[in-house]
Amino acid sequence: MEVTVLGIAQDGGYPQVGCLKDCCAKARDDPTLSRMPVSLGLKGTDGSTHMIEASRMMSEQFGLWSSLGNLDWPPSSFSLTHAHLGHIDGLGLLGREVMGLSGIKVHCSESMSALIQKTPSWEIMIDQGVIELVIWNSTGPFEPSEGCGFTITPIPVPHRSELSDNHALIIRGGTRSLLFMPDQDSWSETLVGDVDILQWLRQMDIDIALIDGTFWDYSEISNRDVTEIPHPTVTETLRRLGIKGDKDPEIHFTHLNHTNPLFDERSLQSEKLVSMGWEICKEGSVFYL
């Protein structure tokens, strides 16, 4: 099965509305630099299609995805990690005002389901048969659709829970597995027991990990209280990881804030990360599992 990266930016995208700094001015001057909020497109062995996250930029994401090969549209299912803006704000596009779909399965946690059911603009989509909520078991794998040839396993991960809880997702195909973890509060809360990041990934048998790279360091957000938007910085993660070994899994940093210098592949920060053997997630990349 195939996993296609359909977005690598934090919820606000890149450039971000309201940002007048040089970082976003560059992307406004050169649209080829713009990036979409995090999302994945999954293509099963049976040809079925599925999306991780429901971004407001779904149209552009589908355009990118379809440019890489023929696709069944609409997707058979969506899986949502949590309720923050860029991960769920496109859900309404499935309804009568835009695509007018029906019977789309939305896999999510119990708390996410409760939020959707009590939000009027989404609740009506359930009543109209646009979406069908499927609550997952937070520790067990599920097939997004019968015969798709892969499973998704949700893993609870601490992250601001003012709207819903948060999960990372393990996608297992026939030969390899991929972890999608765009958001977390801190490594100290995510890691269980006396293990480091690489041990944790090995325990879950992960071959490829797309992990939270929101901020390079906190100097990017000197005008904000970092306790309001907790994420481990890339500099901390690199300290924990060290140099990549031959048998270590691939790690790609994603969910980049608009201020993150990793958007510029020629930046010193990007060069340092790559020199250590790790990677920056790229829109349009395809992983075969």
Q: In the structure, what pLDDT confidence band is assigned to residue 78 with cuts at 50, 70 and 90? A: very high
Q: What is the mean pLDDT of residues 16-27?
A: 90
pLDDT at 100 over 70: yes
pLDDT of 28-37, one tens digit each? 999 999 999 9
Q: How confident is the model at residue 228 (pLDDT cuts 50, 70, 90)?
A: low
Compute the half-sphere exposure of residue 273: CA atoms within 13 Å on the CB side of its CA: 28
Return the HEC string of the chain. Answer: CEEEEEECECCCCECCCCCCCHHHHHHHHCHHHCECECEEEEECCCCCEEEECCCCCHHHHHHHHHHCCCCCCCCCEEECCCCCHHHHCCHHHHCCCCCCCCCEEEEECHHHHHHHHHCHHHHHHHHCCCEEEEECCCCCCECCCCCCCCEEEEEECCCCCCCCCCEEEEEECCCCEEEEECCCCCHHHHCCCCCCHHHHHHHCCCCEEEEECCCCCHHHHCCCCHHHCCCCCHHHHHHHHCCCCCCCCEEEEECECCCCHHHCCCCHHHHHHHHCCCEECCCCCEEEC
Res 226: pLDDT: 61
**Separation between Cα atoms, residue 54 and residue 57, nearest integer Å:** 8
Q: How many Å separate Cα 278 from the centre of its chain?
A: 18
Is pLDDT at 105 greater than 70 in this prediction?
yes
Band of residue 222 on the pLDDT scale cut at 50, 70, 90: low
What span, in angstroms and rounded, lies between the C-alpha atoms of 7 and 168? 16
Percent of the chain beyond pLDDT 90? 85
For the segment 256-277, the average pLDDT, to the nearest whole number, is 96
Residues 68, 285 contacting (CB under 8 angstroms): no
Distance CA 117, CA 120 (A): 7
Give the pLDDT of residue 230: 81
Q: In sequence order, which residues have a C-beta less than 8 Å from that of residue 100 and are 6 or more positions away?
A: 130
In which band, very low, low, confident or very high, does the pLDDT at 224 lie, cut at 50, 70 and 90?
Answer: low
Q: Is the pTM of this model over 0.85?
A: yes
Confidence label for 21 from pLDDT (cuts 50, 70 and 90): confident
pLDDT of residue 143: 95
Classify residue 192 as exposed, middle or buried by CB count within 10 Å of its CB (0-12, 13-18, 19+).
Answer: exposed
Residue 242, C-beta contacts closer than 8 angstroms, at least 6 positions apart: 276
User: Long-range CB contacts (< 8 A, 24+ apart) of 28-33?
Assistant: 33/263
What is the average per-residue pLDDT within 141-156?
96
**pLDDT over 70 (residue 189):** yes
Q: Is the pLDDT of residue 266 over 80?
A: yes
pLDDT at 267: 96
Angle of CA points 286, 7, 106, to nearest 5°: 90
Q: Which domains does the chain carry?
A: 2-288 (3.60.15.10)
